[in-house]
A and B are shown apart, each in its own frame.
Chain A
């Protein structure tokens, strides 16, 4: 009867000398592993978004959270006049990155996406471009 109790306490006490497994978030930051699928970012090349508005990401997106509208620039080239991701719908599957033929979108390590209003979850092209 007393033996199991002592055994239990032994385990408990032994843990007091081990490294804790929990992370003291937010004072401690997690070590994000490579391949992590966080917030999207639009890649930039020559001061312009690489995106050519081919619509493959909204086509492949299973959550239908990407809205693209193409425009024609001064050189008659195609560019994304509008590029929006509705983060409330996004399931972070990463298919958009996989589908992109011009390496224009990637997923960053940023995972802190909480916000105060619904509108703030709509990531416009400007917001997605910000972090280079």
Chain B
């Protein structure tokens, strides 16, 4: 610790702190424009000038000067104020001062400082900038006339997002923030640059002119897309969510968001939202009252009580813990059926079966904070960035700032593979388990097994024939990864799971778990296995028991049951099996066949269109509750706006059903959480009020055990391409289709091909192609690049039109032929 005096106050800070950090620590505010706590010091704006007694005679920037022992600092003398005023005058000389029409007004650092320092005249005269304004981009509007050259946008894009869309171009007074060749912005559209811009040079276009900053009601909540559990602040006005507001102090991610989180909120107030219940009459869905719709649902469900096996429920892991708990209670408790599932049954297996077998808990043994504390990350699939972009930022920071080594085993390349020092091993599609078994074998062969690992002989026998060739990689590559992984002091395996990744199942979780256990990388900080659930409350859905526990049917069996008539009543809460479950034709047929289907959803989805009763549900912005993110963090979701139309939250719907069926009664969702805290062991001692803003990570006690798993042999089909599915960076599940932001950037389904395959098939970028498998055929646009290896096709699953599940059937790899339409 270093001791220094700031404005007469004694303060002790870490030796790598700057004067700015030290002042902040003792509550003294130093004005800044170019500094951001997440970024490396820059020292460009000269607003933070301070006086240090030991360096008298000149003013030094607080944000770049490290503290030294005994420093005596003054932050506001007359001379300093004069200097800061001069800086502001010079900035305002070129700034257009169009505050009345600038959306940043009210939240503008330059405006606030100008007011604070009473800069109401300018000694200098000059012309304003006359740069062209980029109005074309649908998400980020760039008005470089307002730019103050703080460079934050370029730095955040480089340091955290690792994209590098911006840079300074030209020199001196002509310098401006530009893109490559000063062309249009073509990036990931995470909007990080917009969030850190201290003025209105970078603006969110969807929010343009929608409201003034001070008129927005700010509600702290949690993003409802992926399982990362990013906190965000919703800005709402007149019952509409208008924007997300950046708060650098929110969450582990310090307010960083991805495209979906920042620009995908429009689904909340979409025109397509269901506003009234619909009941099928004469074969057509017609508007009905809540009483009518609920009466029909409850009469069917109470009839089902006498034959519980004929009732089934599919829930989306987007619901809150309270709603999922109530759903489980209504179906498993009151009705008495075990036919409950979510995420197609396979997308949660890694937790409910894999983690349970290997670690004795249905959760990741590691948490998000372990990423930056680790020495080596072993990432399964480069897609970890696409499925969980903000975890991707954490990985970027770990690799670039903390020097964490990164190894990627994937069936294609991606953004993570381009990180400094990243070593990527591209294996054949569908051979993840074989690869991990080969790694285990290599660890054993190299004698790198940790001491005292039980069950080693069984694993040895199981992986005896696990050769590198089975995963389509060389023995040297395997040996190198195994050695790097085993010899790293702390190593973390990152495994994304989800509907797009049927291969990421229980076997893969156990295979990855084996490697961690074998090398003693479990149960300590910065090590272990991070299983990343796809949806915002995937972990919560598992914790609340939304999967068959006894003899009940899993999701695929429920679909089969609907087809063969064993399941007569199906309750679907937010799931969209028609688009997201494998084999669309089969699912559609089954759902058309089922006697009675209720769908509670925000939109009239492809599934809801087949229902007998459709109930309008509430989005995350219209309800209170909790979500549990992939790091086992339980966080509060808060209501920002009143319900849209006549929509009711799933909690209200389920509690009405529960009462009508003679089940439990709850007055509000808070009571359910109290019951969760009392009955779900992991949530013991938690309360919604106690979660506060930051949430709480619930502890797990890991009982690690080696679970030998056999790799399924994937038989390559001659002359066909191996198609793998997954997530697109801009989408999550099928809900992001209703957010305008993601749809501007990635509106249609596509199939990504290697350049060599494309040229052999005479396919060019953007061509419409027909992809045919044994299950069916689908038409999508072609995307050509070097990301996927030769012989592999990648297609994201989110889209209703040209949905990839038309041609998949739940297998890890689907063999397809691709032809130009």
Interface string of A9-47 (1 = CB under 8 A from B): 000000000000000000000000000000000000000
Contacts of A59 in B (CB 8 A): 212, 214-215
A78 touches B101 (CB 8 A): yes
A71 touches B209 (CB 8 A): yes
B212 touches A55 (CB 8 A): yes
Name the interface residues of B213-234: CB closer than 8 Å to any CB of A.
214-215
Known contacts A71-B209, A76-B135, A56 near B215 by CB under 8 Å: no
Interface string of A36-76 (1 = CB under 8 A from B): 00000000000000001111101100000000001110001
A77 touches B208 (CB 8 A): no
Contacts of B208 in A (CB 8 A): 72
Known contacts A71-B209, A76-B133, A76-B135, A52 near B100 by CB under 8 Å: yes
Contacts of B101 in A (CB 8 A): 52-54, 77-78
Interface string of B635-672 (1 = CB under 8 A from A): 00000000000000000000000000000000000000
Query: Which residues of A line the B interface, CB within 8 A?
Result: 52-56, 58-59, 70-72, 76-78, 101-102
Contacts of B214 in A (CB 8 A): 59
The chain B residue with its CB closest to the CB of A76 is B135
In the bound complex, how far is the Cα of B210 from the Cα of A123, in angstroms?
22
Contacts of B210 in A (CB 8 A): 70
In the bound complex, how far is the Cα of B105 from the Cα of A52, in angstroms?
14
In the bound complex, how far is the Cα of B252 from the Cα of A35, in angstroms?
57
Given contacts A52-B100, A54-B105, A55-B212, 6 further A-B contacts (CB under 8 A): A53-B101, A54-B99, A56-B100, A76-B133, A78-B100, A101-B99
Query: Which residues of B line the A interface, CB within 8 A?
Result: 99-101, 105, 133, 135, 208-212, 214-215
Contacts of A102 in B (CB 8 A): 100
In the bound complex, how far is the Cα of B100 from the Cα of A53, in angstroms?
8
* Nearest-Cβ distance from residue A67 to partner chain B, whole angstroms: 10
In the bound complex, how far is the Cα of B208 from the Cα of A76, in angstroms?
10
In the bound complex, how far is the Cα of B211 from the Cα of A71, in angstroms?
10
* Nearest-Cβ distance from residue B55 to partner chain A, whole angstroms: 43
In the bound complex, how far is the Cα of B210 from the Cα of A70, in angstroms?
7
* Nearest-Cβ distance from residue A86 to partner chain B, whole angstroms: 16
Contacts of B215 in A (CB 8 A): 55, 58-59
In the bound complex, how far is the Cα of B135 from the Cα of A109, in angstroms?
42
Contacts of B133 in A (CB 8 A): 76
The 7 closest A-B pairs by CB, nearest first: A54-B100, A70-B209, A78-B101, A55-B212, A101-B100, A76-B135, A52-B101
* Nearest-Cβ distance from residue B140 to partner chain A, whole angstroms: 14
Contacts of A56 in B (CB 8 A): 100
In the bound complex, how far is the Cα of B200 from the Cα of A9, in angstroms?
76
The chain A residue with its CB closest to the CB of B103 is A78
Could you give 26 example pairs across A and B, Cβ below 8 Å?
A: A52-B100, A52-B101, A53-B101, A53-B209, A54-B99, A54-B100, A54-B101, A55-B211, A55-B212, A55-B215, A58-B215, A59-B214, A59-B215, A70-B210, A71-B209, A72-B208, A72-B209, A76-B133, A76-B135, A77-B101, A78-B100, A78-B101, A78-B209, A101-B99, A101-B100, A102-B100
In the bound complex, how far is the Cα of B101 from the Cα of A76, in angstroms?
11
* Nearest-Cβ distance from residue B100 to partner chain A, whole angstroms: 3
In the bound complex, how far is the Cα of B211 from the Cα of A54, in angstroms?
9
In the bound complex, how far is the Cα of B98 from the Cα of A52, in angstroms?
10
In the bound complex, how far is the Cα of B208 from the Cα of A58, in angstroms?
18
In the bound complex, how far is the Cα of B216 from the Cα of A59, in angstroms?
12
* Nearest-Cβ distance from residue A104 to partner chain B, whole angstroms: 10
In the bound complex, how far is the Cα of B100 from the Cα of A102, in angstroms?
9
* Nearest-Cβ distance from residue B105 to partner chain A, whole angstroms: 8
* Nearest-Cβ distance from residue B612 to partner chain A, whole angstroms: 41
In the bound complex, how far is the Cα of B212 from the Cα of A54, in angstroms?
8
In the bound complex, how far is the Cα of B135 from the Cα of A15, in angstroms?
73
* Nearest-Cβ distance from residue B211 to partner chain A, whole angstroms: 8
* Nearest-Cβ distance from residue B96 to partner chain A, whole angstroms: 13
Contacts of B209 in A (CB 8 A): 53, 70-72, 78
